[in-house]
Amino acid sequence: MLDAGRTQETLLEVNNIEVIYNHVILVLKGVSLSVPKGGVTALLGGNGAGKTTTLKAISNLLHSERGEVTKGSILYRGERVQDLGPSDLVKKGVIQVMEGRHCFEHLTVEDNLLTGAYTRTDGKGAIAADLDMVYTYFPRLKERRKSQAGYTSGGEQQMTAIGRALMSRPETILLDEPSMGLAPQLVEQIFEIVKSVNENEGVTFLLAEQNTNVALRYAHYGYILESGRIVMDGPAAALRENPDVKEFYLGMADEGRKSFRDVRSYRRRKRWLS
Ligand SMILES: Nc1ncnc2c1ncn2[C@@H]1O[C@H](COP(=O)(O)OP(=O)(O)OP(=O)(O)O)[C@@H](O)[C@H]1O
């Protein structure tokens, strides 16, 4: 188990970062987290908590949205990476799978996958072998390889986006909201694949998820983000048993299921956040 793996080598370290959009909107208010090599780390939180912003800060994608890291540092393998461009980060082995899949709709599934290999210089043979590897994890993509990506289902597009990331031979994948808009069974299938890629290929994952339930079943460690601050973190198994996580994120309390709007819970939640 990689819970114990928290003592392993740290690949990514985010230290107390602050992010501001449009020079005025303070969205991240001192976020710190660390991602151990070979682990699956989950960044959890509701709508607008700042998960996507955290991932974009790491992969240097904030500039196009007029966002800026104004405090703190981001280190990958101990090296400061916040001044690198996104493609330099890909060369270092870090790749982001954006929320909403973002396939090239007019390209076939296979051509989408091949675009993931564009920074590689290790030859056609190695790339072809990795394409086979991706098809082993996603047999569905092999069946659909000649289809135009825009006409494939949401689940297939999510698979294509993850497969394309794998084609760059990454060390770390930043995966934003893989469950978004997918039926529960498909979500489970995608997380199973993430788990096998992690275990068999040794790829490290930092995944942002609103679906706390599924994320805490597959991740080794979790951070909970609320209004731009980490309010709790711990091994996934411990978070799953934590009464506040159960009540506020898993929709259950010791006394049974409860609504988010429950007044008592809400007061407790406010105390918890203060
Ligand atoms: N380009 C932007 N300009 C201004 N504010 C932004 C921008 N992008 C995000 N925000 C704000 O930053 C906050 C955090 O957004 P973010 O997308 O990081 O949250 P999230 O946790 O990923 O939520 P979701 O799951 O809904 O995407 C929100 O209040 C959002 O409105």
Confidence grade of residue 87 (pLDDT, cut at 50, 70, 90): confident
- Do residues 203 and 197 make contact, with C-beta atoms less than 8 angstroms apart? yes
Element of type H or E holding 232:
strand 229-235
CATH of the domain at 44: 3.40.50.300
Residues 157, 260, single domain; the answer is no
Half-sphere exposure of 79 (CA within 13 A, CB side): 7
Residues 194, 82, single domain; the answer is yes
Q: How many residues does the chain have?
A: 274
Residues 147, 268, single domain; the answer is no
Per DSSP, the residues of 65-92 read: GTEEEEEEEEEETTEE-TTS-HHHHHHT
Residue 223 placed within a domain: yes
The answer to whether residue 149 scores a pLDDT higher than 50 is: yes
Which residue puts its alpha carbon closest to atom 23 of ligand 1?
48
Q: What is the pLDDT averaged over residues 206-222?
A: 95
Residue range of the domain that includes 199: 1-93+170-241
Residue 229 placed within a domain: yes
Examine the fold and report which residue of 119, 141, 168 is the final residue of a domain before the chain moves on: 168
Which residue puts its alpha carbon closest to atom 7 of ligand 1?
21
Percent of the chain past pLDDT 70, that is, above it, reads 88
User: Distances in Å between the alpha carbon of 257 and those of 40, 252, 272?
Assistant: 28, 4, 19
Residues 160, 174, single domain; the answer is no
Distance CA 226, CA 233 (A): 12
Distance CA 197, CA 165 (A): 12
User: Distances in Å between the alpha carbon of 65 and those of 22, 23, 52, 57, 220?
Assistant: 8, 11, 12, 11, 31
Residue 53 placed within a domain: yes
Distance CA 114, CA 106 (A): 14
Residue 115 placed within a domain: yes
Top mutation candidate among 17, 18, 22, 25 for ligand 1, by most atoms within 8 Å of CB: 25
Top mutation candidate among 27, 28, 96 for ligand 1, by most atoms within 8 Å of CB: 27
DSSP conformation class of 9: -
Which residue puts its alpha carbon closest to atom 24 of ligand 1?
47
Top mutation candidate among 52, 179, 223, 225 for ligand 1, by most atoms within 8 Å of CB: 52
Q: pLDDT, tens digit, for every residue of 126-136?
A: 999 999 999 99
Element of type H or E holding 246:
helix 243-248
Examine the fold and report which residue of 127, 150, 168 is the final residue of a domain before the chain moves on: 168
Q: Who lines ligand 1 at CB under 6 A?
A: 21-22, 25, 27, 45, 47-53, 65, 67, 177, 210
142 C-alpha to center of ligand 1: Å?
35
Q: Which of 94, 101, 169 is nearest to 131 (CA)?
A: 169
Residues 10, 73, single domain; the answer is yes
Rounded to two decimals, what is the model's pTM? 0.89
The answer to whether residue 261 scores a pLDDT higher than 60 is: no
Distance CA 67, CA 69 (A): 7
Number of domains in the chain: 3
